[in-house]
Amino acid sequence: MSAEALVDDGSGFTLVTRKRGGGRGRKESPTRTTAGRGAPPAGPAASAGAPDGDGNGDPGPDEETIRKRLIAPTRELARVEYVEKVLGVLLATPVLRAGKAVRLVGYGIGNFGSSAVPRLQYCCFRELARRLDLAAPAELFDPVMTASEIAVAAADGIRAPRVNEAAKRKCHGDPTVFFMPHCGKELYDNLLWANWTVPHLAAVVILGNSFAFYVENAIGDELKKTTRYLAAACGCATEVVLENPVAPSAAFNNTSVHHFAVDRLERLPASTWDEAAEPIHVSGHEVVDWLR
């Protein structure tokens, strides 16, 4: 892979536009920016982490215990100024620069009452909800969330929808930030399909796994065959890689902010937008509507 452009824009970011050769019909990788001193480690996305309990139907810790457990990760995020760094990147996107109130939706962070990695992700999400100018209460969904976790989120002003929409959330052109660290690529595919028009995608910002990583590690047409919308979006996304000074590093490794410029979306072939069939992801013989 060779870099086509390397630009210092004066903001401390380095903009790298890459193209990967070899694969027939392969789209170019996303425009990629590194925020901070280094890119995240190249490796598979970390899982949300196993709960501390035995995983056999235990309801998990109570609300008071969860609140106490959130103190340390909140301090860790403050120590490394991670939320400030993320906010800086988000506010620099065209979606948030427009100055309109935004929606904040989170998917798949796991049991933050029981596991260290989800706790860091929840604390980051909570701080973003507090600091962004929101048009409506932030929403956070994971099918494994316990009643106590839902109650803690509610006390923090965060709604926990009870319907599993499998990330097929239509933003209808309303500026929306989706917080999805370490979700499966099928969920990104679902989200992109739900907003598969130029004006709708242009209103979406995704904080999640690096799209460029998917492109760089795909074998042949694998990405296009398994996640059509993600594969197409990779060719027109602008990606800012987030520096990851947080401990444990698994909370935000390989994490980027992605947004979509109208002019790049409009350069896609017209066929890109045709026959936008709803994706149905299959594991074995079962249809899967929620993949972690």
Confidence band (pLDDT; 50, 70, 90) for 110? Answer: very high
Chain segment 152-184, per-residue pLDDT in tens: 999 999 999 988 999 999 999 899 999 999 999
Q: Which tokens go with 253? A: 């490794």
- The strand pair at 204-209 and 286-288 is best described as unpaired
Q: How far is CA 122 from each of CA 116, 130, 176, 180, 287, rounded to the nearest angstrom?
A: 10, 12, 18, 11, 29
**pLDDT value of residue 35:** 57
Residue 2 CB coordination number (10 Å) = 7
What is the pLDDT of the chain when averaged over all its residues? 81
Q: Given this model, what pLDDT does residue 174 score? A: 95
Half-sphere exposure of 159 (CA within 13 A, CB side): 11
Whole-number pLDDT of residue 31: 55
Other CB atoms within 10 A of residue 76 CB = 19
Q: What is the mean pLDDT of residues 137-146?
A: 96
Using alpha carbons, list the distances in angstroms from residue 44 to 41, 82, 162, 256.
9, 22, 29, 14
| pTM value > 0.75 | yes
Q: In what order do the strands lie in the sheet with 176-180?
A: 2-8, 14-19, 31-35, 237-242, 255-260, 204-209, 176-180, 103-107, 139-141
Indicate the range of 73-77, 186-190, 231-235 predicted with least confidence. Answer: 231-235
Q: Are 94 and 174 in contact (CB under 8 A)?
A: no
Phi, psi (5° rounding) for residue 90? -60, -45
Ranges 37-51, 118-132, 261-275: which has the least confidence: 37-51
Q: Is the pLDDT assigned to residue 38 strictly greater than 80?
A: no
Output phi, psi for 88, to 5 deg: -60, -40
CA pair distance 114, 118, nearest whole angstrom: 8
Weakest mean pLDDT among 10-14, 132-136, 221-225, 265-269: 10-14
Give the confidence band of 216 by pLDDT, cuts at 50, 70, 90. Answer: confident
